[in-house]
């Protein structure tokens, strides 16, 4: 039985990823910082709940102890993420972004990934087929955002794409450091969720597809890569 932890799994893509992996036979932990919402989601899904706030060291360490006591972990999906939006659902631009906003975004999207990886690595290293999926974004691609012919080129935000580019670098470096693990970044696509004010053009079912696929790769699967549903993406 494969045991999987998904951060930020009480709604959106995380919730749908949990649903699909449970259907595929995984035992899934729904990680959520809101206990009530997390327990409700886990009950609906037939999953396990673990209280987990990726911005809090004590919360992450306690979650790792809980999962360890229950038997261990095979797959970690770093899904929790934020994107700052203004009241009219626009994103802070180069003119309006501040250091505090950047710091807040990085606390969840980057430092949260490091915090969770650090706490759960000992459990993953005991697995026969350990996998890490870092949920990135197509907006993390330097190639895409610097190409005037690519649709992503016109995204004006600073904090979110910068944080996800950092996640991609974490993927590369952790994959090199831990070659026994399969560690990859994925781009779910522009999915309709609370993250973007529900302006996305894909369903959560479509968005979860690449996450679910990469969560199920074997020991001979790729590592240190960046993928969407169609294959590898340019950094």
| Catalytic residue set | 160, 164
Count Cα neighbours of 46 within 13 Å in the Cβ-side half-sphere: 9
Task: List the beta strands (DSSP E) in 107-225.
Answer: 131-135, 182-186
Q: Which two tokens stand for residue 132?
A: 């890490």
Positive/negative CA dihedral, 101, 105, 106, 107: positive
Pairing of strands 182-186, 226-228: parallel
Q: Residue 141: what are its φ and ψ, rounded to 5°?
A: -80, 115
Burial class (CB in 10 A: 0-12, 13-18, 19+), 99: exposed
């Amino acid at each position: 039985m494969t045991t999987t932890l998904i951060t930020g799994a009480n709604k959106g893509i995380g919730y749908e990823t949990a649903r699909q992996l449970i259907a595929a036979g995984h035992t899934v932990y729904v990680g959520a910082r809101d206990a009530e919402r997390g327990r409700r989601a886990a009950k609906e899904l037939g999953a396990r709940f673990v209280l987990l706030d990726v911005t809090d060291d004590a919360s992450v360490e306690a979650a790792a102890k809980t999962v360890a006591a229950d038997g261990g972990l095979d797959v970690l999906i770093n899904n929790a993420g934020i994107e700052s939006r203004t009241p009219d659902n626009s994103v802070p631009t180069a003119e309006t972004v501040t250091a505090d906003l950047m710091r807040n975004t990085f606390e969840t999207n980057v430092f949260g990934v490091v915090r969770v990886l650090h706490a759960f690595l000992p459990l993953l290293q005991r697995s026969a087929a350990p996998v890490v999926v870092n949920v990135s974004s197509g907006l993390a691609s330097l190639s895409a955002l610097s190409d005037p012919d690519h649709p992503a080129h016109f995204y004006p935000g600073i904090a979110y794409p910068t944080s996800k580019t950092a996640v991609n670098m974490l993927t590369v470096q952790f994959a090199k450091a831990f070659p026994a693990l399969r560690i990859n970044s994925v781009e779910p696509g522009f999915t309709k969720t609370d993250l973007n004010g529900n302006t996305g053009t894909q369903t959560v079912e479509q968005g979860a597809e690449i996450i679910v696929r990469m969560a199920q790769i074997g020991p001979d699967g790729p590592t240190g890569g960046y993928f969407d549903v169609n294959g590898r993406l340019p950094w």
